[in-house]
Chain A
Amino acid sequence: MRIPPALRSYTDGQDEVVLEASNVAAMLHALDANFPGIRDRVVDEAGRRRPYVNVFVNEELIGASLPEAKLNPGDVVHILPSVAGG
């Protein structure tokens, strides 16, 4: 998982974390187990992706719910803010 600069305070500055998970939702839980609090930055209390936070698996934007976003070995998950402005 690639960690955006704004969230690296949670990961002691690491920009990449290697995790095992079968889908993106599970990966976020695994990430939070290692770096408590970081999951709350990506999803809200209902587990919904926060507005203007995008999740990509490799180069594909995940539009479906996070538990439905399946992962395969070697996939790279990116968490990125939407571009602001217009």
Chain B
Amino acid sequence: MARSIKKGSVVVAVGTKKGGFLFHSLDRRKWSVEGPFNAGGAVYHMTLDPRDGRTVYAAAPMGSEPWGPAVYRGRAGEAPKATKTAPKFKEGSDLSVSRVWHIEPGPSDAPETIYAGVEPAALFRSDDRGDTWHDVESLNYHPTRKDWQPGNGGLCLHSVLVDPKNPRHLMIGISAVGAFETRDGGRSWTTENRGVRAGFMPNQYPEWGQCVHKLAWDASGDGAIFQQNHCGTYHRGPDGGAWTEVTKGLPSEFGFPIAAHPEQKHTAFVTPLIGAENRVFPKGQMAVWKTTSSGKAWRSHTKGLPGPRAYLGVLREGMAVDAADPLGVYVGTNTGQLFASRDEGESWKMISDFLPPILSVSAGEAR
């Protein structure tokens, strides 16, 4: 990749089934693209580190061949390289990391710290930008682990939220297992699934076993969180406790990503699909739904999005927001289109077509 990304550009990192791409633009009207990186191989997640605005991390296998999972690191605009080691369990473990699903930059006061969520579900922390990794044993060998069961997407830890105001406060999400939270820097974890429905279980409100699809901080800054689940959309208030289901007003309880406005409280975006049995947009119309009231009310936005007769979907990591004003929102589809909104989700424009199926989208500003 060329060194062509200018400071101040919005960078949209797109992971696909056949490589990773960096879209970048100074005005969010005219976009340039770098890549593909890891051409021919999947890139499950790729993100620009917001702490320096320069470093790109990616989760991908080594090439397209069966050499195991890797984490890549590089300067935005250059091809990232595999870090010295990938997350792995202790030697001799029965567990083996098969895939890195998500890379999450750590707190601002620890610029070398990053987290990795992997399959089978586990959290790893690196304090040297991905060269060595620590197995977060308090979570990875949680007493409930023996009963964790994979969902359709595998037993993956896909969401890692690091509290920007309190680096000892994290919440993670595991498909078909649920949400866990620590407030003591990872020494102990509690299940945090009260009020979340598991419609596929005999007991629909178990302590854990819910199929969380994605988590996002509410910009309130007080610890409130949004959740898109297999069985509904939820919001949890700042003091923890039970989640409130906020599915009412949406066309479906099923969707994958959820992205929250980084500045505007109570504001989030979702992309509901018909359901688990048919993971495409209802009525053949792609739509992004927005709430500005923590989910009390939702509004559909379709201007510039395909339909009717658009039979496509969006995967778990397929939506992101930038930090510009007005907010940019980005959605990548499993049919290879990348859509962008530069007016907080009100209207949309396709900025790329004929990409490989899009697995992840993230956005940030180059510095």
Contacts and interface: CB of A to CB of B under 8 A. Distances in A.
B332 to A, nearest CB: 25
A6 B65 contact: yes
Interface in A17-66: 36-37, 40-42, 44-48, 50-53
Contacts of B85: 36-37, 40
A83 to B, nearest CB: 11
A9 B65 CA distance: 14
Interface in B278-295: none
B66 A40 contact: no
Given A9-B82, A40-B88, A45 B93 contact: yes
B67 A6 contact: yes
B63 interface: yes
Contact of A36 (B67, B84, B88): B84
A47 B95 CA distance: 11
Nearest to B95: A45
Interface residues of B, number: 22
A72 interface: no
Contacts, number: 57
Contacts of A69: none
A46 B67 contact: no
B303 to A, nearest CB: 42
Contact of B66 (A45, A46, A48, A50): A50
Nearest to B92: A46
Given A45-B97, A48-B96, A81 B65 contact: yes
B75 interface: no
Sort A-B residue pairs by CB-CB distance and give the 8 closest, nearest first: A52-B66, A44-B96, A41-B67, A81-B65, A45-B89, A45-B93, A6-B63, A45-B96
Contact of B91 (A36, A45, A52): A45
